[in-house]
Every structure is written in C-alpha cells, then in structure tokens.
Structure 1
Amino acid sequence: MASRTNHPMERVTLESTRKTALTAGVFYLVTFASSIPAVFLLEPVLNHADYVVSAGNDTSVVWGCLLDLINAFACVGTAVALFPVVKRQNESVALGFVTARLFEAAVIAIGVVSLLAVVSLRQSGTAGADPGSLFSAGQALVAVRNATFLVGPGTIPAVNALLLGYLLFRSRLVPRVIPILGLIGAPLLLLSAILSMFGLNNQVSVLSAVATLPIFLWELSLGLYLTFKGFKPSPILSEAAAHRVGQAV
C-alpha cells in the first residue's frame, strides 16, 4: 500500500507550499537589499538642509527613491505570498497582516513622493525663485519624509511582527525562535516610536538601535529560513493537503 506522502495531489501541495515559502523569503530579502542602500543614497537630501538651493546630487536621491519604492512593493509581496498559508491558522489575523503591510507600503510611497518633490523643486525652482521660500519648502518636504519613516518603517513592522509572529508561532511553520524574536522586538519598537513621537527619543539613538535590532533579526532570519529551508511540517499544511486530496477523490 502506498504511503500518504506518495499521493500525487499531496506532492503537488508540498511543491506549491515550497514555492510559496521561497517567494515570501525572497521578498523579505529584497526589502533588505533595497532599504539599506537607500539610506546612504538619500543622505544628500536628508542630512543637508540647503539641498534644494544647492548643487545637489539628484541621481543619488532618485536611485534611493527607486529603491524605497522597490522596498514598498516587496513589503506587499511578503504579505500576499504568505496569506494563502497563514490564513489557515487564523484568517482574521492574516488579513490584518496583509492590511498592515499595505499601509506600510503606502506610507513609504508618500515619503518617496515628498523627496522626489524636493528634487523637482531644486531642478526647476532655483531660477528666479526666492531662495528662502525654496529652503522652507524643501525642509517641509524632508520633514514629511522623516515623519513617514517614523510612522511606516519605524512603527508598522512592530504590528507586522505581532500579527505574523503570532501566526507562525502557533502554526510552527518555522522554528519558534524566529517568531519569538519578532514578538519580543515588537513592544520595544513600539515604545521607541511612541517616545520619538512625543520628542522623548531620537530616531537615531542608542534606544532606537536597541529597539530595532530584534525586529531586524526577526525579518532577516525569517527571509533566510523561508528562502533556503521552506516551511516546516505543520498541521495546517497537512490539513491543506488532505483537503486537496479529498477534492480530487
């Protein structure tokens, strides 16, 4: 008698979940590959108050904006890829994770638009325009971007970690130490972000770095594990296989 794992429909299910894990893992790694270089490429506009009225380095800033957009799309990709699997654990929580990722991507996009507006002002507004007005407009747009960074990448990953961490911890789709990192890091990141909103903490500080580290490790380890290992055997995967086999029969 053939073993259950030799059933063609179950093999198809295992292959599809492996592809799902690989897709989600690659999207997670893309968020790192795009967001980290963007920090350095955007340095001219973020750390130089007179960028909009100076010579500037528009090419660097535009590339940084492009990488931030890639990061935003990859954020959505992680949630869309994982949703069909994690919804079997709790569909409401899984839908909340997708929504949070969409919100994070939208906030990142707002920050990108504000910086592209600075570049546009610098390129077209310097001739005959009041330097003081340009300077104020440029500073305001950079302030918008900094606020989006605090609300988006600085806060929402904590919500993502709570939602997805819960789903992965309960389902055992990955080693439990991985979601535990996210569940520990989430309240720390939220605390750091709230203190920053009230002016009690700086976004670039020791507290912010310590609060961000567990979330950084959580997302990186999750991306690497899903890319190179895939999902662990889990009851929700067995249920999915049994359901598909039943439909075939």
Structure 2
Amino acid sequence: MSPGRRAAVFAGILYLITHVTSVGARILYMPFLEDPSLATRAEPLLVFGMVLEVILAAAVVGTSVALYPLLRDKGPHLAIGYVGLRTLEAAVIGTGAAAMFAVILTDPGLNGSDGLGGEPILEVVDIALIQVVEAAFILGPGLICSFNTVVITTLLYRKRLVPRIIPMLGLIGGPLVFVWNVGLMLNIADASNAFAIFFVVPIFAWEISFAIYLIARGIRDSGTAHQEVPLRA
C-alpha cells in the first residue's frame, strides 16, 4: 500500500471516529444538559463523555492533517484552509470538554471537599458552564464545521477527486447546518424539533460517504482525476 493510500485510509477511519465520538458524547451529556442537578450522580458518564470529546477533537484535526499531503498540490490554499478551520473546530470542541471537566470539579463531594462552599452557588456555576458546553457545540460542530465542509468539498468537486455526488452532499449540507445553528443562536430553531433532521442529514451523509470512499478507493491522483469543473456545472 502506497503512502498516499495509507493516508487516505487513515483519514477515512478518523472521519468515522469523529462520528462515533461526537454522537456518543452527546448521548452521555444529554441527561445533564437537561438537568444540571444530575451532575454528581452522572459523574462517571460525564467523564467518559469528556474523554470522547477529547478524542473527537484529536480526530477532527487528524482528518485534515492526513488529507493535506494528498490535497496540497491540487488546491494548496483550500487544503491549508481546511487544516486551519478543522484545527479551530477542534479547539472549540476542546473548550466544551474543558467546561464539562470544570463541572465535574465543582462537585461538592469531590475529594471530600465542600466545593465552592454552597449548593446554590454550585448550581449557578454548573448552569453557566453547561451553557459553555452548549455554545461550543453550536460554534464548533455547527458553524465552523459548515465552513470547513464547504472548503474541502469545493476542492473535491472542482478537481473531481472523488465522485461528484459526494462533495455535492457537503456543498448542500454545510450551508444547511450553518442556517440551522444560526437559528439556534437566535432562538428561532429548536434543537429538539424533529425537523432538524432535514438540516443535518446531508452533512452526515457527506462525511460518512467520503470516509467510506477514502477507505475503499482513496483520492484520485492527477493522472486519473477528471478536468476541473466549476461549481455551477
């Protein structure tokens, strides 16, 4: 297996890891997001969720780093832009994980201490920290992810490095996720609304299909890629 092929397989695996860890962390966080008073009883689950988010952040950066050698000759500006945006997304995800860790540290029973000195204060602190977790989720996997998705899918589409249907899913899904998360920020959209699935499915389909293609086939090289096409084609 050539180095380029190994890099493509590695990137594809990392994309799949980002999905497993992001969904897993969200499921583990969900009870506490709805009721911060459950923090003490849910502490092991929160720790596991936090660890999943750290793995998620590392995998997010890893996808771009693994792909960069394969894309830099085909679109250097977009390739390095993707690395930068994925790194920014990972940093925001890490901020959310750090906020959740701070929630765990404010547990009044931690190490037999009294925490910050009173349950009412702890409740306020926990609520504030959980808002940071929610904000990180909207800004990172929401807004920033929509930008980096458009960046890489533009490159893949123009250079025909993968079948066109794959980046088209991202070109559709990126803006949809952006609009949905702006709606959440403006309290126009409701995260629990079943209608949200129409906004998030395309970008999930893009990443899953791209990951599978990377593992199965890899990126087309300059000799096999078709002629560059504009986005309006």
TM-score after normalising by structure 1: 0.83
The partner residue of 2:153 within 141, 165, 168 is 165
2:81 aligns with: 96
Q: Secondary structure of 2:41's match?
A: coil
Q: Is 1:107 matched with 2:92?
A: yes
1:156 aligns with: 144
Q: Is 1:217 matched with 2:205?
A: yes
Deviations 1:180-208 (A, max 9, x none): 00001111111111121111112332343
Q: Is 1:66 matched with 2:51?
A: yes
Deviations 1:157-200 (A, max 9, x none): 21111100011112222111100000011111111111211111
Counterpart Cα distance in 2 of 1:162 and 1:235: 25
Q: In structure 2, do the counterparts of structure 1 residues 165 and 109 end up closer, same or farther at CA, with 3 Å as the change threshold?
A: same
Equivalences for residues 3-152 of structure 1 within 5 A:
15-52=2-39, 55-122=40-107, 123-124=109-110, 126=114, 129-152=117-140
Q: In structure 2, do the counterparts of structure 1 residues 237 and 210 end up closer, same or farther at CA, with 3 Å as the change threshold?
A: closer
Q: Secondary structure of 2:2's match?
A: helix
- The CA deviation at 1:233 is 4.6
The answer to whether the 8 A contact 1:100-1:160 is kept is yes
Q: In structure 2, do the counterparts of structure 1 residues 97 and 129 end up closer, same or farther at CA, with 3 Å as the change threshold?
A: same
Deviations 1:17-63 (A, max 9, x none): 211211111110111121122122223322213134xx422111101
- Structure 1: state its 5+ residue gaps: 1-13, 239-249
Q: Secondary structure of 2:162's match?
A: coil
Counterpart Cα distance in 2 of 1:128 and 1:96: 42
Q: In structure 2, do the counterparts of structure 1 residues 58 and 166 end up closer, same or farther at CA, with 3 Å as the change threshold?
A: same
Counterpart Cα distance in 1 of 2:116 and 2:164: 61
For 2:55, give the aligned amino acid: I
For 2:97, give the aligned amino acid: V
Counterpart Cα distance in 1 of 2:84 and 2:191: 25
Counterpart Cα distance in 2 of 1:115 and 1:191: 26
> Which range is displaced more, 191-200 or 176-185?
191-200
Choose between structure 1 and 2 for higher RCO, CA contacts under 8 A separated by at least 6 residues: 1
